[in-house]
Amino acid sequence: MKVFTSAIRIKSKAKAEELNITSQVEAVILESNIYEGMALVFTGHTTGSIHLNNADRDLEEDFHNFLKEMVPNKTTYKHNKGEYGTNADAHLKSVLVGNSVTVPVTKGRLALGQWQAIYFSEFDGPRARLVSIKVFGESNEK
């Protein structure tokens, strides 16, 4: 089994936004030369998330509006009263959405569903972010 490790750097432009990183992940898959296997996409940031969703701009906005309603940024959160700033909601949203996805690699491509895309969710931007990608499996080399 072959293992390939890489990372992509992204920059968010807003406090909260969805960044479709599918094409960057696909470029890493291509670079890895792994033909059959899995790709793990992970962020170590605690105010951002990685997830799969339908690649639709309206749904991206709906997603953040839903999270805003579900997790408002309350002044009563202890984190918001401390030395860490006022981003407790961003941390809680990150916990709910998650920090990684694992996607099959088939014939050297991500085996996503017809409408699926890989997203980085920004909850405390704008910021520069790092997304780690580990691809493991079998190459097509003889």
**CATH code of the domain covering residue 128:** 2.60.120.460
For the chain, give the percent of residues with pLDDT over 70.
99
What's the farthest any 2 CA atoms get from each other in the chain? 61
Does an H or E element contain 8, and which?
strand 2-11
**By residue range, what is the domain housing residue 132?**
2-139
**Number of domains into which the chain is organized:** 1
Classified as helix, coil or strand, 122 is strand
Question: What mean pLDDT is predicted for residues 84-113?
Answer: 96
Instruction: Give 140's pLDDT tier (boundaries 50, 70, 90).
Output: confident
